């Protein structure tokens, strides 16, 4: 398994470089999405890569999509590098780089909406609630505290901002943008997915505080769940045994990294923008362990890379 910060030389058209993932065009109906081992914190991508992180994101997405198969149609064709290479022979020389971390996907027209489901009051939702008493413009009960459980869970859509932060928008704005029928479909699918995933996570001692889902329309018109799904990069997972409402909760995967960066900032060694400080080896390894642990906790098995050849 290679440690990978950048992907070089794939014989496909490069469509997009995300903070973590690289998106390539296979043809008119298929994409290749490669998750690198890059990690970001406070919106800055670190210079050090985290061993196994790309594989954790990819295999966790594949695992969740199997669990959710009865709830929703999705974009994943295969996350098995051998099968990807069989389907796209030009990738054969790149098999070692792709192994574990790549998804061959059905290509869609992406709805320009981040479908955020929140079961707990955290992040930008807590900020909005504190200042206005609302979530995505809709009133919530008074007197909620930070990290409190929301019953029922709320669909809190956001715009997909190209740069800067996504903006929470009212559900009516979604309907105005993509039509009533599609808006209702995305909301219902998001609710089903979150409810199922929250229960699965709870059975493993994890709280799925919130998650961001994306959907797209495939060429024949069907709506598919796309992108990464229920990964620690797209979701907030908390350790259920350490949960204390009324305060921010430690992030299961990135907390030591965030704490260390906060210390660097306080010590005046980092101004909070790129370039970030170099991460010590021990921090890189403990962060890697945490990603592997999230995978183990959620799926009940170790990440088995030999099987992913
Ligand atoms: N099946 C798909 N069809 C079309 N676009 C997709 C599909 N799956 C994922 N995407 C797009 O791939 C992009 C991944 O980039 P991005 O989210 O910026 O990466 P990162 O999460 O690493 O920062 C997103 O814009 C997402 O909408
Ligand atoms: Mg993304």
Residue 119 lies inside a defined structural domain of this protein? yes
Predicted local distance difference test score (pLDDT) of residue 136: 87
The overall average pLDDT reported for the chain is 95
284 pLDDT higher than 80: yes
Residue 163 lies inside a defined structural domain of this protein? yes
- The CATH code of the domain that includes 226 is 3.30.470.20
Residue 12 lies inside a defined structural domain of this protein? no
Burial of 164 (0-12, 13-18, 19+ CB in 10 A): exposed
Residue 177 lies inside a defined structural domain of this protein? yes
Closest-lying ligand 1 atom to the alpha carbon of residue 75: 1
Give the whole-angstrom CA distance, residue 247 versus residue 121: 10
Predicted local distance difference test score (pLDDT) of residue 92: 98
Tell me the pLDDT tens digit for each residue of 196-205.
999 999 999 9
Mean pLDDT across 28-56: 97
| Alpha helix segments (H runs only) across 212-301 | 255-266, 281-299
Residue 157 · residue 141 · CB < 8 Å: no
Mean pLDDT across 2-12: 94
306 pLDDT higher than 70: no
At CA 303, angle to CA 200 and CA 233, rounded to 5? Answer: 60
308 pLDDT higher than 90: no
Give distance in angstroms: CA of 269 to centre of ligand 1: 33
Give distance in angstroms: CA of 46 to centre of ligand 1: 20
Please, what sign has the CA dihedral across residues 161, 164, 231, 136? negative
Q: Whose CA is nearest to atom 26 of ligand 1?
A: 227
Predicted local distance difference test score (pLDDT) of residue 95: 96
Residue 146 lies inside a defined structural domain of this protein? yes
121 pLDDT higher than 60: yes
Residue 86 lies inside a defined structural domain of this protein? no
46 pLDDT higher than 90: yes
Mean pLDDT across 269-284: 96
41 pLDDT higher than 50: yes
Pocket test for ligand 1, best of 163, 226, 231, 235 (most atoms within 8 A of CB): 226
Domain range for residue 137? 110-242
Q: What is the dihedral of CA 256, 123, 164, 159, to 10 degrees?
A: 140
- What are the E-state strand segments in 149-299? 149-155, 158-159, 206-217, 223-226, 235-239
Distant-in-sequence, close-in-space partners of 74: CB < 8 Å, separation ≥ 6: 65, 68, 224, 225, 226, 229
The answer to which of 25-29, 60-64, 165-169 has the lowest mean pLDDT is 165-169
1 pLDDT higher than 70: no
Q: Whose CA is nearest to atom 8 of ligand 1?
A: 227
Burial of 132 (0-12, 13-18, 19+ CB in 10 A): exposed
Mean pLDDT across 2-20: 95
Pocket of ligand 1 (CB under 6 A): 16, 18-21, 23, 31, 33, 75, 105-108, 110, 214, 216, 226-227
Residue 302 lies inside a defined structural domain of this protein? no
Q: Whose CA is nearest to atom 4 of ligand 1?
A: 108
Q: Which residues are 226's β-sheet partners?
A: 214
Residue 219 lies inside a defined structural domain of this protein? yes
309 pLDDT higher than 50: no
Q: Among residues of the chain, what percentage have pLDDT more than 70?
A: 97
Give the whole-angstrom CA distance, residue 130 versus residue 128: 5
Closest-lying ligand 1 atom to the alpha carbon of residue 38: 22
Give distance in angstroms: CA of 268 to centre of ligand 2: 30
Closest-lying ligand 1 atom to the alpha carbon of residue 20: 22
307 pLDDT higher than 70: no
Give distance in angstroms: CA of 140 to centre of ligand 1: 31
- How many domains in the chain? 1
- What are the E-state strand segments in the chain? 13-17, 21-27, 30-35, 40-41, 44-45, 76-78, 102-106, 109-110, 113-120, 134-135, 138-139, 149-155, 158-159, 206-217, 223-226, 235-239
Mean pLDDT across 274-278: 94
Closest-lying ligand 1 atom to the alpha carbon of residue 21: 22
Give distance in angstroms: CA of 148 to centre of ligand 2: 26
């Amino acid at each position: 398994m290679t440690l990978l910060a950048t992907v070089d030389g794939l014989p496909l058209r490069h469509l997009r470089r995300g903070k973590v993932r690289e998106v390539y065009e296979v043809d008119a109906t298929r994409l290749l999405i490669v998750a690198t081992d890059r990690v970001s914190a406070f919106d800055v991508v670190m210079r050090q890569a985290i061993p196994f992180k790309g594989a954790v994101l990819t295999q966790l997405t594949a695992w969740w999509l199997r669990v959710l198969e009865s709830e929703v149609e999705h974009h994943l064709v295969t996350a098995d590098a051998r099968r990807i290479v069989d389907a796209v022979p030009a990738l054969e020389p790149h098999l070692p780089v792709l192994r574990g971390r790549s998804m061959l996907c059905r290509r869609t027209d992406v709805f320009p909406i981040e479908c955020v489901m929140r079961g707990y009051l955290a992040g930008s939702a807590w900020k909005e609630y504190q200042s206005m008493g609302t979530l995505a413009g809709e009133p919530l009960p008074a007197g909620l505290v930070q990290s409190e459980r929301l019953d029922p869970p709320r669909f809190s859509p956001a715009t997909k901002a190209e740069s800067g932060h996504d903006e929470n928008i009212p559900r009516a704005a979604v309907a105005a943008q993509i039509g009533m029928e599609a808006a209702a479909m995305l909301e219902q699918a998001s609710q089903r997915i979150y409810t199922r995933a929250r229960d699965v996570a709870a059975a493993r001692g994890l709280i799925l505080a919130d998650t961001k889902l994306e959907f797209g329309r495939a060429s024949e018109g069907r709506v598919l769940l796309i992108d990464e799904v229920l990964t620690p990069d797209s979701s907030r997972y908390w350790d259920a045994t350490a949960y204390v409402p009324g305060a921010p909760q430690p992030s299961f995967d990135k907390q030591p990294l965030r704490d260390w960066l906060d210390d660097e900032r306080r010590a005046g060694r980092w101004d909070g923008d790129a370039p970030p400080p170099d991460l010590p080896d021990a921090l890189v390894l403990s962060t890697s362990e945490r990603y592997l642990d999230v995978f183990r906790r959620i799926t009940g098995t170790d990440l088995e890379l030999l099987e992913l050849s």
